[in-house]
Structure formats: C-alpha cells, structure tokens
Amino acid sequence: MTGYTEPHDKSEQIAIANSAERMTVEKWMARFIVLESVAGIPGSVAGCLRHLRSLRRFRRDMAWIETLHDEAYNEKMHLLTFLKIAKPTLLTRVSIYALQIVFAFCFTLVYFLYPNICHRFVGYLEEEAVKTYTRCIDDMELGLTPDLSNLQVPQIAIDYWNLPIDANFYVLIQYIRADEAKHREVNHTFANLETRGNDRNPFALHIEAANVPQPSKTLENHRGVGWEREDLIL
C-alpha cells in the first residue's frame, strides 16, 4: 500500500536504492503517515475500554490507563510532525480513513475479548515501526536519500521532544524510533501480564530492587521483547 519494500541486508538496501523501487521522500512520508495514523488507535481504544471497565467494576486499574493514553498521544505527535512535512493526497486520506474505521472496529472488538492478544499484536506492529525507522536511519547514513536528511524539522517536533533548535531530520527519526522501541517493550510486557487481574503496570512506578532490574519509564533496563511476568515485582 505504501510502496515500501523491506530489504534483508545492506546490499539489498543499496540495490533497491538503484532500482525503480527506490524510496523517495514522498514514499517515506506516505509510509510514515499510514503507519502513524493506525498506530494511534490501540492505546486510545485500550485506555478507553480499561477506563470504562474500572468505572463499571468500581475497581482500580493499576495505572495502565495513563501509559496507554500516553502512547496514543505520542503516536499522534509522530503523525502531526510528519503532516507538517508532507500533505497526503486525497486518495491517501480516503484510504487512511477506511483503514482507520476497519482497524478501530476490529481492535475494539478483539480487545474486549482477548486483550493479551491485542497487546502482543501491537508489540509486533511497533517492531515493524522500529524496523522501518532503522531502515530510514540506515538509508540516511548510506546517503541513499539525501533529500530526506535535508528536510527541516518542524517546530512542533522541536517543542515536543525538546530538540536543539538546529536538530536535523536524522536526529528526529532517532527520537521517534526510541519512542517506538518503548511502545514495543510496554506492549509485549502487557501481553505477558494478567490483563484482567490485579497486575500493576510496572512502567508507571519504578521500584528499586537490589540486583533485580525492573522496567522504567525511560530506555534504562530496556527489554525489546518485553518483561516476563515472573521477573517483575507486581
């Protein structure tokens, strides 16, 4: 849909850059905008359903809602940043709109029944985002898309990530990839927890434990594949 071909290694990446499938600035932006417009849905749906469940059952949610809504807001900032750089065509907007309706409906339905499967799915979706941004960073390092490196970073991104005023697009993509890596860790961890039980969100409150590393809000002690339930102080 976005005209993106995933290379398996650097030599294939260079070969793609010299072929008709070459990634242009327009194709990168289309890929980012499609990915980000879908990525903002899960955190919002999951946060909303958990919020309603907490109200319905007169029970605490153990701090999951805030992290889920933070994720959705963060994804929306990714989208708004790219929209400042590129304006999607009417056809792209209509396709995204249709995709959002289908995805939001299916995700809501499945989250209601199988929340763990949904968090696992989002973990893999985030993995896909990490791979896309890594490939984008490699492309810029290899000088395959010079126009991309020269793009100006929008003010909205400088304010949101507290970037230096002269930050370039290469730096911006590294910040966004770090966000995606965090979403991947959080969602794979949530998938390992008892989503309907009393398990607390281990990312909301960092617990210092001697010789037992625990998750944090930052990339400290980062585990891309998520944390196993037995490794967590819950």
Sites of contact with Fe ion (CB under 5 A): 36, 39, 75, 78, 126, 180, 183
Give the residue from 31, 196, 179, 40 showing the smallest Cα distance to 104. 40
Closest CB 154 distance from Fe ion, rounded Å: 15
3-state secondary structure of 165: coil
2-to-23, 96, 184, 230 alpha-carbon distances in Å: 10, 11, 22, 40
Question: Of 82 and 227, which CB lies nearer to Fe ion in the complex structure?
Answer: 82
Closest CB 212 distance from Fe ion, rounded Å: 28
Structure tokens at 132: 């896309």
How many helices (H) and strands (E) would you count in the chain? 8, 0
Question: Of 70 and 75, which CB lies nearer to Fe ion in the complex structure?
Answer: 75
Closest CB 207 distance from Fe ion, rounded Å: 25
Closest CB 182 distance from Fe ion, rounded Å: 8
Question: Of 40 and 115, which CB lies nearer to Fe ion in the complex structure?
Answer: 40
Cα distance between residue 149 and residue 139, in whole Å: 9
Question: Of 32 and 227, which CB lies nearer to Fe ion in the complex structure?
Answer: 32
Rg (CA), the chain: 19
